[in-house]
Amino acid sequence: MSFVKIWIHLVFSTKNREPWLTEKLRYDVHKHIVENCLEKGIFLQAINGYTDHLHCLISLGKDQNIAKIGQLIKGESSFWINKNKLTAEQFSWQDDYFAVSVSESQVQAVVAYIKNQEKHHASKSFQDEVDEFMTRYGWQVIK
């Protein structure tokens, strides 16, 4: 029997970082994503976000990869939002995403960080957060 536990902190934003995820819609989308993940065998430990992005903490299964999980979560949730006409305009997620591995010892800290998004973004924009991650991890934008 295979045993795999690879924690991934996955973050993705709305198309053009539009603030479509009002508090009510955000709650409904989170609930829907949790249900969808259960149906698809995706182990989602935590989900939360703000008006223009979502954070997910996921443990990959032995036959899963980041790209496929991201596609399943983002594609299905945008389809559901549009099918149910939950936004005034056509909803979509940005193509890009942020994904970083999380050590087992940091899982609870990441869960707490994800749960605290509303308070966190009261003082820091998503762009500031992205810039901070880019600097912290030494990433560069490739154009």
The residues near 12 (Cβ < 8 Å, ≥ 6 apart) are 53, 54, 70, 74, 93, 94, 96, 97, 98
Burial label for 23, CB within 10 Å (0-12, 13-18, 19+), is exposed
Residue 114 CA to residue 47 CA, distance in Å, equals 7
Return the percentage of the chain with pLDDT > 70, whole number: 86
- Taking the model in full, what pTM does it have? 0.84
- 3 band by pLDDT with thresholds 50, 70 and 90: confident
Q: Which domains does the chain have, with CATH numbers?
A: 6-137 (3.30.70.1290)
| 88-131 pLDDT, tens digit each | 999 999 999 989 999 999 999 999 999 988 776 666 666 667 66
Task: Determine the average pLDDT of the residues in 62-90.
Answer: 95
Residue 132 CA to residue 8 CA, distance in Å, equals 18
What the block records as the tokens of 29 is: 């989308």
Residue 143 scores a pLDDT above 70: no
